[in-house]
């Protein structure tokens, strides 16, 4: 297990480290600096010699600094954390509740749930790691691991369920804010036209091809604009609060 050197040995403040001794410890598994030098005073022999030994080994390319669960460790240059050790590390950061949940005690993103970071990899969802290790199947980018219990910190594989992203919101009525954001995104994808140009297109009796050539867009876009399928105007039917919100030019500000 990766934490075996994080508990023993415990060095005294007068202990003198050598590069060979430190390398021998690191070869057994990743080691934190506080394991080698538990003293808080930078002037103690154990801290001075530990730092010197680490610097010497780093200069020779024998060890390197890695991150496991956002915490720094020193590991050998060729060391890589295998999936089994990742699971062991995750298990070490969870506690079991009386209701059967495995409560994650690390970082929890309010949108993505429990997260963990290994070495220099981007942070990943704890549930995705456990699901893929448990089933041996890799999830697609559209698949999301949710829990059947009500605790968003739970990482018990027995409580997992996989759904397609956003399917839990299927059938919901879109709010005016969502519609405005979708409309703004559509405008960015299908050409930048001013409100005046949109109005001119809708008032014009010219063929789509003629108007498209003048505006610098495709004829199909002209037809979609005239039928109000794109560049929809959500401001006119609303007054009061919505009208004031929609008065800004930026779609982000309106939302």
Which one is predicted more confidently, 240 or 113? 113
From CA 177, how far away is CA 165, in angstroms rounded? 20
For 42-76, what is each residue's pLDDT tens digit? 899 999 999 999 999 999 999 999 877 667 889 99
- Residue 5: its pLDDT value, please? 40
Taking the C-alpha atoms of residue 138 and residue 129, their distance in angstroms, rounded to an integer, is: 9
Region 85-109 average pLDDT: 87
DSSP 3-state of 210:
helix
Domain boundaries, the chain: 4-76, 83-169, 176-254
Higher per-residue pLDDT: 125 or 117: 125
Instruction: State the pLDDT at residue 22.
Output: 95
Tokens in use for 153? 């910190």
Contact 179, 234 (CB under 8 A): yes
Residue identified by tokens 């030994």 is 53
Query: Closest Cα partner for 128 from 146, 109, 105?
Result: 146
Domain 4-76 classification at class level: mainly alpha
Rounded distance, CA 129 to CA 145, Å?
A: 10
> Beta strand 143-147 with 113-116: parallel, antiparallel or unpaired?
unpaired
Average pLDDT over residues 210-221: 85
* Whole-prediction pTM: 0.46
């Amino acid at each position: 297990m990766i934490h075996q050197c994080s508990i023993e040995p415990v060095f005294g403040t007068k202990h003198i480290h050598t590069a060979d001794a430190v390398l021998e410890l690191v070869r057994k598994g990743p080691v934190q600096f506080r394991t080698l030098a538990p003293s808080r005073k930078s002037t103690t022999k154990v801290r001075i010699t530990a730092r010197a030994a680490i610097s010497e080994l780093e200069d020779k390319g024998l060890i390197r600094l890695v991150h496991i669960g956002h915490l720094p460790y020193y590991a050998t240059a060729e060391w890589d954390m295998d999936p089994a050790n990742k699971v062991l590390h995750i298990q070490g950061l969870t506690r079991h509740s009386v209701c059967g949940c495995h409560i994650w005690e690390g970082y929890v993103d309010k949108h993505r749930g429990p997260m963990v970071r290994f070495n220099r990899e981007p942070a990943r969802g704890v549930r995705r790691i456990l699901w893929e290790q448990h089933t041996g199947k890799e999830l697609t980018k559209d698949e999301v691991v949710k829990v059947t219990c009500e605790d968003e910190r739970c990482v018990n594989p027995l409580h997992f369920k996989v759904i397609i992203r956003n399917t839990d919101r299927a059938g919901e009525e879109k709010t005016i804010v969502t519609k405005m954001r979708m409309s703004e995104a559509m405008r960015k994808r299908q050409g930048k036209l001013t409100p005046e140009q949109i109005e001119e297109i809708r008032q014009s009796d010219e063929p789509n091809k003629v108007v498209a050539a003048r505006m610098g867009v495709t004829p199909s876009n002209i037809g979609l604009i005239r039928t109000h399928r794109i560049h929809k105007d959500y401001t006119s039917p609303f007054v009061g609060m919505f009208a004031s919100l929609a008065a800004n030019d930026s779609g982000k500000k309106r939302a």
